Structure 1
Amino acid sequence: MAKRTAIIDIGSNSARMVVFEKTSHLAFHMIKEVKSQVRIGEGAYENGGVLQEVPLQRAYDALGSFKNIIKSLKCQKTLCVATSALRDAPNAPSFINRVKKELHINIKIIDGKKEAYYGGIAAINHLKPFDKAATIDIGGGSTELSFIQNNKIIQTISLNVGTVRLKELFLDKHAKTDKIAKFVEEIVQALPDDFKTEKLIVIGGTTRYLSKLIMAKINYPLKTVHGFEYQLSDYLELIRDIKTSPTIQLKDFGIKKERIDTIREGLYIFDAVTAKLGTKHVITSGAGVREGVYLSDLLRNQHHIFNPTFRLSLRSLIDRFEIQDIQNNSAVKCSSDLFDALAYIHQIDSQYKKELEIAAKLYNIGIKLNFYQKNLHSFYFILNNLNYGFTHQEKILVAILIKYHMKKLPSAEEISRYQDLLPHIDTVNWLSFILSLTNCLHEDLINATFEFEYKNHTLYINSSKKLNLAKESIKKLAKPASFAIVLNESRFF
């Protein structure tokens, strides 16, 4: 069995645990995620930071349940970190000792800068590279930020303000909105000027939930919040309406019950920070402190960063679906060479060659679930799993190419739901055709090599081996333009 690691994060508001399973040396995927809204910091901020008995017991019970899961899943390693509430509490040591003695879980209290670092590491390894950006993670007791330049963490900072802290100090006491805003703004002024950046990567419950609200508001075609991006100016009015609305009106924004008592507090912080940083563009990260803790352990000999060419989700899918390297590499080379050979007629930007090659790697993964409707199975696997290291535009293009390969070319109507995330329909059709032709040439499952040449309105395919099934399949292909295909076997030009 692959090595499994449990990561526990005890925050002021929630205790969370994820279990990661390695699929190869560096690739992994999540197999379990649980959350308990323990509110360990409840009542602490108005009592000098002292953790209260009832919240402590809730946290202990949650950790006991986590321990049962760890045993059941046979995790070989457990890493547990605690943030703001425990690091601020004078009675934290007694709780930590009790958990260690009775549950055999070692809690490590991390400071705010370390917490910010973990969030930054998660963003760097799970999103596209950034020349300049900042991360923000709004927690219950504090808010952490990291500054990224050339895909490296340059600086981290922790602000002593969080959702639970604001709730207990102000909103529970029905303080006026201008008083809350002034309190937050004074703390946010501690952010140095060199943190200013137009790109902000949001981590944590409040800001991810805001992204989900925006996705629902615009009827966004994907459900995955990781990688969702938006222009802040388009939603400032919504943010400010929510943060100043009375509790009874929050349901009108589609806010769920479990978020009602902290969403406004989080948006006060978010609004003040974005104003200070000069934020224009927001990118959502589904990975945060827990992933950062795991990656810091996994990549301890690589400065906590994957090689730039490594794509976590892609490698994990290849591992889990046991894709054969020989045929896989042949399909990728074939699709790439076809793209180049047909460049004169398709005239597609070469940037899409990358998505074509990824589709060639993954087009048959759905067969592991069931042969029938394998294209549709593959489509859903891609939509839900090709997340880390890919933009939504890249992911949906790969998924669409796989869904329609070996079928009729997709029409504008069929892909209309995703049209804002896709290139022009002509580009989609050409890429779909090239993937389908690649599949045809591998129908015989023999290790043939190919050379391609396009001339005189004809694509000449020279194969090192005889391909009876490929010939029949090619005749049935729908083409995006009028040209002939000639398959020459057992010889090259």
Structure 2
Amino acid sequence: MTEQRIGIIDIGSNSIRLVIYERTSGGAQRVIDGSKRAARLSERLNDEGSLPSETIDELVDMINHFRLICAHHRTGHIRAVATAAIRNASNRNEILHRIEAKTGLPIELLTGEEEAGYGFLGMINSMAVRDGFLIDIGGGSTEVSLFKDRTLVQSVSFPFGSVSMTRLFAKGGMLSDQQLRELEQHVAEAAHGEAWLKGIPGLPLVGVGGTARALGKVHQAYSKYPFESTNNYPIMMQSADDLFELLRKEPLEKRSKIPGLSKDRVDIIVPGLAILRAIFRHIGASHYIVCGAGLRDGLFFATRFPERPRLDDVLTYSVNNLAALHPEAPMQHTSQVNRIALSLMDMLQYQLQSPVQARLLLDVASILHRIGASIDYYDYRKHTFYLMINSHINGLSHMELLMCAAIASYKGKNRVKQIATAYKPLLGDEEITFICKLGTLLQLAIALDRSETQAIAKLGIEISGGKLHLRAIRAEGMIALERKEVDALAADFKKQWGLTPVLHPPDYR
């Protein structure tokens, strides 16, 4: 299959963005390029509510620039959409016509409801959350949605965002107590018109878009969080409130030096967070969750998989996608290791406090344990760890992802302790023990196919006399290599599980 590329251009109220997705010959999806330009379109609407001609010309230049990037990558399909700023402009028809005439690209003008739908799709395909509210604070609009059992139930698009609220209440980016009360009143009046927003208190509020991601990045920098992903990052109400007040009190020149906050968001972050807090309180949410995906990801899934854009199983999809991006390990071998690891797990789960979580993490780790060989076979475990924590493995918490990567790359307890030290407080003594147990279990499964020939077609597993008896019920050819490997790691395994593994030939009674 030839490579296929899709370019998504998102003409937002605050910024214009391009993302180019590629489908590899192995069937995996990945982002191969992207670009962003600050636009502040909501800010540039004149008193009649129209975008000035020179702003439209700038927009045309940006989109032509993005088209050149797409052409450079031989992008087969470009989908360009516009949101609130153009939707709210009184001369929107002229804007769309001029862009299409001068770039050759038709622009889809999304309704507020469509924008909410694509944002939901991007979020639900990158997180394993089942029920909650979703908020996307753009420059000129704010979409709020309710989802239950991973299905969108209801959504609304409010005609205000971080840029327009800055213009209305916080010129220069500073928000006094009085201006804050007025902004909150403005949000509350709009929200009161949607009775369903108050229907289910106690659900998380998932944030997509620039304001939510900025909150996540600043919070992580402020709390010295050891892991660099903002996707699926929880923040409690009090922490968010404290950060909001910290940012609000800082003058702009000091605010621009706050770690984690990008320069083009310094003046609009406080009004954006004020909207976020007001909606949080209105719906009675339990906590915030920052999501790293959003509108552009939703547009990609809707374009690539028009029949079934929503994923049933986020974790399985992202694990299989990552495995397909790094196909150096023989698939038959990783499948065999995976099957054996889960069979061993089923026999030994009585020793674990959380066997369901253990099985899930071992399943992922066993599929991905060799992906590091795509960088270098020697030291592939180190590369596997790096690739796993820096790739999009969606559907796991940050702690679970770190544990999973440590299990997949297991080399001994000392290495696990080094990893745990680097990622305190996410990994403590309990997690170290858990990783070592599952890491040795995975190493045993790898040893049982050391020849990578799937010689053991069927494995019998029994426990007696302090031994884990492994019997090759059906073996195709010699298993001497496997027996030697099992013997070599028997002492390590016994330390973790209190059992000595022994591999018996098929004729053993």
Q: TM-score, normalised by structure 2?
A: 0.90
Contact 2:83 2:110 in 1 (8 A): yes
What residue is the counterpart of 1:470 in the other structure? 482
Q: 1:439 aligns with which of 446, 455, 459?
A: 446
What residue is the counterpart of 2:4 in the other structure? 3
Give the Cα separation in 2 of the matches to 1:333 and 1:128.
24
Give the Cα separation in 1 of the matches to 2:330 and 2:396.
23
Q: CA offsets, 1:162-214, max 9 Å, x none?
A: 12112223322777442343134323333234224430111111110110111
What residue is the counterpart of 2:460 in the other structure? 451
What residue is the counterpart of 1:233 in the other structure? 238
What residue is the counterpart of 2:293 in the other structure? 287
Deviates more, 1:476-485 or 1:216-225: 476-485
Give the Cα separation in 1 of the matches to 2:394 and 2:54.
38
Code of the aligned partner of 2:347: A
Residue 264 (structure 2) pairs with residue 262 (structure 1): no
Code of the aligned partner of 2:468: L
What residue is the counterpart of 1:340 in the other structure? 346
Deviates more, 1:110-119 or 1:25-34: 25-34
**Structure 2 runs not aligned, ≥5 long:** none
SS state of the match for residue 501, structure 2?
strand
How far did residue 86 of structure 1 move?
0.5
Code of the aligned partner of 2:317: L
Contact 1:40 1:59 in 2 (8 A): no
Distance change >3 Å, CA 216–CA 183, structure 1 → 2: closer
How far did residue 16 of structure 1 move?
0.4
Distance change >3 Å, CA 26–CA 469, structure 1 → 2: closer
Give the Cα separation in 2 of the matches to 1:222 and 1:42.
35
Distance change >3 Å, CA 425–CA 82, structure 1 → 2: same
What residue is the counterpart of 2:324 in the other structure? 319
Distance change >3 Å, CA 94–CA 492, structure 1 → 2: farther
Contact 1:50 1:91 in 2 (8 A): yes
Q: CA offsets, 1:327-353, max 9 Å, x none?
A: 222111100111122234456533211
Q: 1:364 aligns with which of 367, 370, 389?
A: 370
SS state of the match for residue 404, structure 1?
coil
Give the Cα separation in 2 of the matches to 1:420 and 1:411.
14
Give the Cα separation in 2 of the matches to 1:200 and 1:97.
38
Deviates more, 1:31-40 or 1:80-89: 31-40
Q: CA offsets, 1:295-332, max 9 Å, x none?
A: 22333322x31123763321211212225442222111
Code of the aligned partner of 2:269: I
SS state of the match for residue 43, structure 2?
coil
What residue is the counterpart of 2:96 in the other structure? 96
Distance change >3 Å, CA 114–CA 492, structure 1 → 2: farther
- Structure 2 counterparts to residues 387-466 of structure 1, below 5 A: 387-405=393-411, 407-408=412-413, 410-412=415-417, 414-418=419-423, 420-422=425-427, 424-447=431-454, 448-449=456-457, 450-463=459-472, 464-465=474-475, 466=478
Q: CA offsets, 1:196-235, max 9 Å, x none?
A: 4430111111110110111112221211111111212233
Give the Cα separation in 2 of the matches to 1:488 and 1:5.
53
Equivalent pairs, count: 489
| Percentage of pairs with the same residue | 25
SS state of the match for residue 253, structure 2?
helix
Give the Cα separation in 2 of the matches to 1:310 and 1:76.
28
Q: 2:334 aligns with which of 318, 321, 328?
A: 328
Residue 209 (structure 2) pairs with residue 204 (structure 1): yes
Give the Cα separation in 2 of the matches to 1:116 and 1:458.
57
What residue is the counterpart of 2:111 in the other structure? 111
How far did residue 111 of structure 1 move?
1.4
SS state of the match for residue 42, structure 2?
coil
Deviates more, 1:352-361 or 1:57-66: 57-66
Contact 2:175 2:248 in 1 (8 A): no
What residue is the counterpart of 1:139 in the other structure? 138
- Structure 2 counterparts to residues 288-303 of structure 1, below 5 A: 288-302=294-308
Contact 1:346 1:430 in 2 (8 A): no
How far did residue 57 of structure 1 move?
2.6
Distance change >3 Å, CA 426–CA 277, structure 1 → 2: same
- Structure 2 counterparts to residues 30-45 of structure 1, below 5 A: 30-44=31-45
- Structure 2 counterparts to residues 50-199 of structure 1, below 5 A: 50-130=50-130, 132-172=131-171, 176-191=176-191, 192-196=194-198, 197=201, 198-199=203-204
Distance change >3 Å, CA 350–CA 168, structure 1 → 2: closer
Contact 1:42 1:52 in 2 (8 A): no
Q: CA offsets, 1:244-272, max 9 Å, x none?
A: 44323314643342221211121121121
Deviates more, 1:118-127 or 1:168-177: 168-177
How far did residue 444 of structure 1 move?
0.9
Q: TM-score, normalised by structure 1?
A: 0.93
Give the Cα separation in 1 of the matches to 2:268 and 2:53.
22
Q: CA offsets, 1:25-46, max 9 Å, x none?
A: 98522121211112233321x5
How far did residue 10 of structure 1 move?
0.3
Residue 475 (structure 2) pairs with residue 483 (structure 1): no
Give the Cα separation in 2 of the matches to 1:121 and 1:484.
48
Give the Cα separation in 1 of the matches to 2:377 and 2:119.
40
Contact 1:159 1:188 in 2 (8 A): no
Give the Cα separation in 1 of the matches to 2:243 and 2:5.
41
Give the Cα separation in 2 of the matches to 1:403 and 1:4.
32
SS state of the match for residue 389, structure 1?
coil
Code of the aligned partner of 1:258: D
Contact 1:128 1:391 in 2 (8 A): no
**Structure 1 runs not aligned, ≥5 long:** none
How far did residue 420 of structure 1 move?
4.0
Give the Cα separation in 1 of the matches to 2:169 and 2:350.
66
Deviates more, 1:156-165 or 1:461-470: 461-470
Q: CA RMSD in A?
A: 2.3
Give the Cα separation in 2 of the matches to 1:454 and 1:319.
36
